[in-house]
Structure 1
Amino acid sequence: MLIIPYGKQHITDADIKAVVETLQSDYLTQGPKVAAFEKAFADYVGAKYAVAVANGTAALHLCTLALGVNEESRVITTPITFVASANCVHYCGGTVEFADINPATALLDIEKVRQLLESKPKGYYSGIIPVDFAGNPVNMEELRALADAHGLWIIEDACHAPGGFFYDSKGQKQICGNGQYADLAIFSFHPVKHIATGEGGMVTTNDEQLYKKLLQLRTHGITREPDLMQENHGGWYMEMQELGYNYRIPDMLCALGISQLQRAETGLARRKGIAKIYDEAFKEVEGIEILSTNPAAMGAQGDKGHAYHLYVIRVQDRKGTYDFLRQHQIFAQVHYIPVHTMPYYRSLGHSKGAFPEAEQYYAHCLSLPMYPSLTQEEQAFVIQKVKEFVGK
């Protein structure tokens, strides 16, 4: 029987050709394809600058380093995310605090963030890391206003949302990661993401100083720029000016990324089409609840800014549904186990029961297959089996 995963990369002959051409070139790493991918991706999301890195976690870590997170920093994020969204703060010695989610969207609840900020004196918190969970965009304009009122920076975790967007208060479309409201935004190119390079990530920003800082931190804290050096012994000379990391990405992966990016909009349209079919199939089914799209992402003409990395439903018997689907080779997944319930975070003083909406969401959520190469027949089979179990 055919296996239907929850997510899957789509590699074409054009992708393979792009990688082979790079393998046959003079560069395997830090060659011209890196800069070309950065330029193409910055253009795609509408940001001034982009920095390609080894993976999405490296992107988060570099962002926290560039913003100066340290032992005195306290940062707010959502408990419904992959652990890297929180871990990046701890890498720098900082402290993470969580705010609960909006139960309708599973996004960070901005009102809960406001309450948390107002419970402490100004300056107590350093920044916020919102997550465009499942591809559902956060209203970054609203969050920026709140952050400005409390002197906070923002890192937008847009790993799920390349091509996603919301409408601002003037009715203008704001693409996830465009840098209009967040200081920095990050993306992942893991195989199940919209753009797959195997491993890989990207940071986007409109801040030139942060951009230059990221470039240096990506390569051991080393610069070769003569204007930045304290000394210059000749053409070979380089200076390590701060402690950085080797978070570079190979040229061949960037070649794959460029090729994948060229059909990003086609893939996004297909994801939205799959979501629409799921919506129609489940909207009247008792026992199945569909996550709502952020109202800010809903256009007047019916266009939707949800990027649909995931399609999440909530069911009463999540474990039973999960097991039943696997019996029929449908490998649905759960996103995510609330971060604050992980043993590491519990060891830091976080506890179960602290964020009831996140925990209630986790108890019932299930991510159904969602990827551009999912066929109509496969999706129909998934829908049939979900209804069959829930109907019992």
Structure 2
Amino acid sequence: MKNIDKLYINGGKPVRDTYLPYGKQEIDDEDIQAIINVLKSDYLTTGPTILQFERAVAEYVDAKYAVAFANGTGALHGACFAAGIQESDEVITTPMTFVSSSNCILYQRGKPVFADIDPRTYNISPLSIKKLITKKTKAIIPVDFTGQPADLDEIQYLANQFNLVIIEDAAHAIGATYKGRKIGSISDMTMFSFHPVKHITTGEGGIITTNNKEYYEKLIQFRSHGITREQNQLSENHGPWYYEMQFLGFNYRMTDLQAGLGISQLKKLDRFIKIRNKYVDMYNKAFQEVKEVTLPYQLANCQSNWHLYIIRLDLEQLKIGRKEIFEALQKENIGINVHYIPVYLQPYYQKLGYKKGICPNAEKLYAEIITLPLFPGMSDSDVRDVIKAVLKVIINYKKT
């Protein structure tokens, strides 16, 4: 194998002098003022700003209800609880995701079952799901990978056929649409994440949207220790101060500080998506003639919100390892990443008995992808730097 370091000898300079991260929050003075306003109010947590944020998100995605959580992981945990997942229940999900998508099943002592992906969209394959459904299957957790909606019609068909709950992990997908409908209004429950690299941020934070009142009430109670003060839910009532812990819940409450930031950020979401679309178009045009690169596939009648821009490398044509390409782009001061390591390859899951090879499409994809920088704080010049660096490493490498 040729030595990629040859690109940097004889005075070769990186494309950029400063480091460009793959993702970053976009915070302005309005966001800062929103937090200051909460600091000056009577509530820092469990106050009215949380309800305002929940209503704003529900309205944005056309859902009846929204329940905010301290983070997306807690939100997924709450959804698994609301769905009634318990010991011995099986839940089918994708391995091409962050570990939260399956850890939430383990928290309820259920069993994650990993379905393979569609090699075009990289989302969970409905055909693979169908083969894995058993009498123990309780739910499906599809993930809208990179912001591209999963094949929700086919997944819903299976859920209806086998009486399964759909908990959509849309951590990447706020603002995306599926056949004209907003993600967040379709599945039984949908989770959005507000981690700093997502479209909008609350620092940490997550939310579940649903049209089901029963799920909504369970989620509200679950995020606050299993406690309720609602009179119609109490087994007895000692007075106005009285509350009951009716099941073992958790402290997954979002703060009003987070919610205040979220309200401000949500107002900018459509603008952020527009900027991301622009940069994706720039990437697509730059790489469409590069035969060693496969561009992201776009599902018909759906609109990704482009949380991540992932390219797939033909390493056989390149005759170079993905690790070498990764390291070379880092030397160009391009902050790339890889999303994701298939969950069941993690040491903890291996100890649980999961084996390599159960999802061959996912494993092959993992070995061939890199994530390029994409966030609204980038400039056109930043995008052009990424393009130059990728072309330098992939194309010019052949000349070394």
TM over 0.5: yes
State the AA in 1 paired with 2:181.
Q
- Corresponding residue number in structure 1 for 2:183: 176
- What is the DSSP-based 3-state SS (H/G/I as helix, E as strand, rest coil) of the residue aligned with 2:91? strand
Q: Is the 8 A contact 2:88 2:136 kept in 1?
A: no
Which of 34, 48, 73 is the matching residue for 1:18?
A: 34
Counterparts of 2:225 and 2:391, CA distance in 1: 53
State the AA in 1 paired with 2:28.
T
Deviates more, 1:287-296 or 1:327-336: 287-296
State the AA in 1 paired with 2:326.
Y
Once the two structures are superposed, what CA deviation does each residue of 1:137-175 show, in whole Å capped at 9, x if it has no partner? Answer: 0121221111111111110000000000111xxxxx111
1:244 and 2:249 aligned: yes
Counterparts of 1:194 and 1:54, CA distance in 2: 17
- What is the DSSP-based 3-state SS (H/G/I as helix, E as strand, rest coil) of the residue aligned with 2:137? coil
Instruction: Give the C-alpha shift of residue 295 in structure 1.
Output: 2.5
Counterparts of 1:227 and 1:124, CA distance in 2: 33
- Corresponding residue number in structure 1 for 2:239: 234
Superposition map of 1:171-320 within 5 A: 173-178=180-185, 180=186, 182-297=187-302, 305-315=303-313, 316=315, 317-320=321-324
Once the two structures are superposed, what CA deviation does each residue of 1:117-145 show, in whole Å capped at 9, x if it has no partner? Answer: 2xx4xx33111000000000012122111
Superposition map of 1:75-86 within 5 A: 75-86=91-102
- What is the DSSP-based 3-state SS (H/G/I as helix, E as strand, rest coil) of the residue aligned with 1:203? strand
Counterparts of 1:362 and 1:63, CA distance in 2: 28
Deviates more, 1:227-236 or 1:329-338: 227-236
The total of aligned residue pairs comes to: 374
Which of 150, 153, 161 is the matching residue for 1:141?
A: 153
State the AA in 2 paired with 1:356.
P
Which of 158, 168, 182 is the matching residue for 1:156?
A: 168
- Corresponding residue number in structure 2 for 1:50: 66
Instruction: Give the C-alpha shift of residue 191 in structure 1.
Output: 0.2
Counterparts of 1:63 and 1:3, CA distance in 2: 38
Instruction: Give the C-alpha shift of residue 238 in structure 1.
Output: 0.8
Which of 365, 370, 374 is the matching residue for 2:378?
A: 374
- Corresponding residue number in structure 1 for 2:4: none
- What is the DSSP-based 3-state SS (H/G/I as helix, E as strand, rest coil) of the residue aligned with 1:204? strand
Counterparts of 2:357 and 2:78, CA distance in 1: 32
Report which of the two structures shows the higher radius of gyration computed on alpha carbons.
Answer: 2
Unaligned runs of 5+ in 1: 168-172, 298-304
Counterparts of 1:216 and 1:337, CA distance in 2: 34
Instruction: Give the C-alpha shift of residue 234 in structure 1.
Output: 1.4
- Corresponding residue number in structure 2 for 1:107: 123
State the AA in 1 paired with 2:353.
G
Q: Is the 8 A contact 1:139 1:296 kept in 2?
A: no
1:30 and 2:46 aligned: yes
- Corresponding residue number in structure 2 for 1:170: none
- Corresponding residue number in structure 2 for 1:73: 89
Instruction: Give the C-alpha shift of residue 69 in structure 1.
Output: 0.8
State the AA in 1 paired with 2:248.
L
Once the two structures are superposed, what CA deviation does each residue of 1:348-391 show, in whole Å capped at 9, x if it has no partner? Answer: 22111221110110001101001011111111010001011111
Once the two structures are superposed, what CA deviation does each residue of 1:59-111 show, in whole Å capped at 9, x if it has no partner? Answer: 00001111111112001000100000001000011101111001111100111
Which of 330, 346, 359 is the matching residue for 2:363?
A: 359
State the AA in 1 paired with 2:122.
A
Q: Is the 8 A contact 2:312 2:368 kept in 1?
A: yes
Q: Is the 8 A contact 1:155 1:183 kept in 2?
A: yes
Superposed structure 1 runs of 4+ greater than 4 Å apart = none
Unaligned runs of 5+ in 2: 1-16, 316-320
Once the two structures are superposed, what CA deviation does each residue of 1:239-265 show, in whole Å capped at 9, x if it has no partner? Answer: 111111110011011000000000100
State the AA in 1 paired with 2:310.
V
Counterparts of 2:59 and 2:322, CA distance in 1: 40
- What is the DSSP-based 3-state SS (H/G/I as helix, E as strand, rest coil) of the residue aligned with 1:307? coil
Instruction: Give the C-alpha shift of residue 286 in structure 1.
Output: 2.0
Q: Is the 8 A contact 1:77 1:85 kept in 2?
A: yes
Instruction: Give the C-alpha shift of residue 204 in structure 1.
Output: 0.4
Percent sequence identity is 45
Instruction: Give the C-alpha shift of residue 296 in structure 1.
Output: 4.1
State the AA in 2 paired with 1:177.
G
- Corresponding residue number in structure 2 for 1:301: none
- What is the DSSP-based 3-state SS (H/G/I as helix, E as strand, rest coil) of the residue aligned with 1:5? coil
1:94 and 2:92 aligned: no
Counterparts of 2:154 and 2:90, CA distance in 1: 21
- What is the DSSP-based 3-state SS (H/G/I as helix, E as strand, rest coil) of the residue aligned with 1:126? strand
Deviates more, 1:226-235 or 1:81-90: 226-235
Counterparts of 1:225 and 1:166, CA distance in 2: 36
Counterparts of 2:177 and 2:116, CA distance in 1: 22
Instruction: Give the C-alpha shift of residue 116 in structure 1.
Output: 2.2
Q: Is the 8 A contact 2:126 2:155 kept in 1?
A: yes
Q: Is the 8 A contact 2:70 2:254 kept in 1?
A: yes
Counterparts of 1:362 and 1:296, CA distance in 2: 27
